[in-house]
């Protein structure tokens, strides 16, 4: 083989390898709330008390029977493998590296940190390396600060949800009130 062909072959091989590596990094993008807990114990404990943390449990037969009946759902049915429910009751469903099913991704059930803050695989590496990271860097790696925009919330809290104000005033959406109930705000130690 002459040098030109071996060079082309090597280049093609390297390109293939890098595609595989990149795909792998993306696949691992959602890491689960337990990983965040290590450094954000107070936010974790506050979040754990909200209904978001066990929202996957509410898809099981026999759970929240009254509420399901009122929304026209079958309280005796198991909804834990129903894509029409998983999209809002798990973390990253339908997105690369997100929840797929309870066997493969048991760490991504419920509405976790990354449902609001974005998949953490990349920005957590930066937080780990440098507590005084630059805010631009974590944002560029996918960190979302949800208080700036309610669009992300509306993907689940909008009119596609079976549980809206029309059914019960309890489900009324008020962005400010919801932000306060989301998880207690603990001011940062380091300014960014
Ligand atoms: C991936 C879908 C999803 C996104 C995105 C989402 N939520 Fe939710 N949220 C839910 C579900 C599902 C519940 C109800 C869980 C249950 O009762 O099973 C919920 C419940 C809540 C609750 C009630 C908690 C309690 O214990 O009373 C608050 C507050 C809330 N969400 C705020 C927000 C805010 C603020 C945003 C945006 C920053 C947001 N949510 C984004 C799906 C989502
Ligand atoms: C329903 C959406 C939602 C969920 C779920 C959520 N957060 Fe937040 N988070 C917010 C909002 C809104 C803020 C306020 C941002 C601000 O004040 O600018 C915030 C702020 C923070 C902050 C900054 C310090 C603070 O306390 O305000 C940290 C750290 C944080 N969240 C970590 C987490 C971790 C860890 C989890 C999971 C255990 C989590 N969040 C789950 C919406 C959410
Ligand atoms: C488009 C997003 C979305 C879809 C799809 C969705 N949910 Fe939810 N669900 C929500 C939100 C948001 C809430 C919380 C409402 C609130 O707090 O205002 C919720 C709350 C619930 C609750 C708790 C109600 C309560 O009062 O405690 C149950 C049970 C539930 N959903 C079951 C289901 C089932 C079963 C399916 C599939 C048939 C489903 N959901 C599909 C977004 C969704
Ligand atoms: C190895 C430790 C570590 C892990 C793991 C970690 N973080 Fe952080 N995070 C930090 C540090 C340090 C800061 C800066 C905190 C401060 O200033 O007090 C921070 C800040 C934040 C902020 C505030 C952003 C800002 O600057 O306004 C959010 C939101 C956040 N983390 C979310 C998460 C989420 C979600 C996860 C899990 C997916 C996570 N973190 C995992 C160390 C970590």
Going from the Cα of 16 to the center of ligand 3, the distance in angstroms, rounded, reads 42
* Cβ neighbours for 173, distance < 8 A, ≥ 6 positions apart: 153, 157, 164, 165
Instruction: Decide: 30 and 98 in contact? Cβ < 8 Å.
Output: yes
Going from the Cα of 128 to the center of ligand 2, the distance in angstroms, rounded, reads 17
Maximum alpha-carbon separation in the chain: 75
Going from the Cα of 127 to the center of ligand 2, the distance in angstroms, rounded, reads 15
pLDDT of residue 17: 44
pLDDT of residue 147: 87
The HSE-up count of residue 110 (CA atoms within 13 Å, CB side) is: 18
pLDDT of residue 148: 77
* Cβ neighbours for 171, distance < 8 A, ≥ 6 positions apart: 161, 163, 164, 165
pLDDT of residue 18: 43
Residue 151: how many other CB atoms lie within 10 Å: 9
pLDDT of residue 1: 53
Nearest CA to 84 out of 93, 75, 97 is that of 93
147 within ligand 2 shell (Cβ under 6 A): yes
Report the residue among 61, 77, 81, 88 best suited for mutation to probe ligand 3: largest number of ligand atoms under 8 A from its CB: 88
pLDDT of residue 134: 95
Instruction: Decide: 71 and 162 in contact? Cβ < 8 Å.
Output: yes
Report the residue among 28, 37, 39 best suited for mutation to probe ligand 4: largest number of ligand atoms under 8 A from its CB: 39
pLDDT of residue 173: 96
Separation between Cα atoms, residue 143 and residue 116, nearest integer Å: 9
Q: Divide the 192 residues of the chain into consecutive groups of 10 and give the mean pLDDT of each group.
A: 55 46 55 97 96 97 97 98 98 97 98 97 96 95 90 94 95 94 90 75
pLDDT of residue 3: 57
Going from the Cα of 157 to the center of ligand 3, the distance in angstroms, rounded, reads 9
156 within ligand 1 shell (Cβ under 6 A): yes
pLDDT of residue 86: 98
pLDDT of residue 51: 96
Going from the Cα of 140 to the center of ligand 4, the distance in angstroms, rounded, reads 14
* Cβ neighbours for 26, distance < 8 A, ≥ 6 positions apart: 96, 97, 121
Ligand 3: residue whose CA is nearest its atom 20: 163
Nearest CA to 127 out of 30, 28, 40, 41 is that of 40
Separation between Cα atoms, residue 158 and residue 52, nearest integer Å: 16
Question: What is the length of the chain?
Answer: 192
């Amino acid at each position: 083989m002459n040098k030109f062909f071996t060079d082309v072959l090597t280049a093609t091989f390297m390109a293939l390898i890098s595609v595989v590596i990149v795909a792998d990094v993306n696949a691992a993008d959602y890491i689960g709330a337990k990983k965040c807990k290590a450094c954000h114990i107070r936010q974790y404990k506050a979040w754990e008390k909200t209904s978001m943390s066990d929202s996957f449990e509410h898809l099981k037969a026999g759970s929240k029977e009254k509420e399901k009946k009122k929304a026209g759902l079958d309280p005796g049915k198991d909804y834990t493998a129903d894509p029409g429910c998983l999209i809002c009751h798990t973390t990253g469903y339908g997105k690369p590296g997100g929840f797929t099913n309870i066997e493969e991704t048991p760490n991504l059930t419920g509405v976790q940190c990354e449902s609001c803050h974005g998949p953490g695989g990349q920005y957590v590496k930066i937080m780990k390396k440098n507590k005084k990271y630059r805010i631009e860097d974590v944002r560029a790696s996918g960190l979302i600060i949800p208080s700036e925009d309610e669009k992300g919330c509306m993907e689940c809290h909008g009119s596609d949800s079976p549980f809206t104000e029309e059914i019960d005033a309890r489900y009324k959406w008020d962005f400010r009130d919801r932000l306060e109930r989301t998880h207690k705000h603990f001011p940062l130690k380091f300014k960014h």
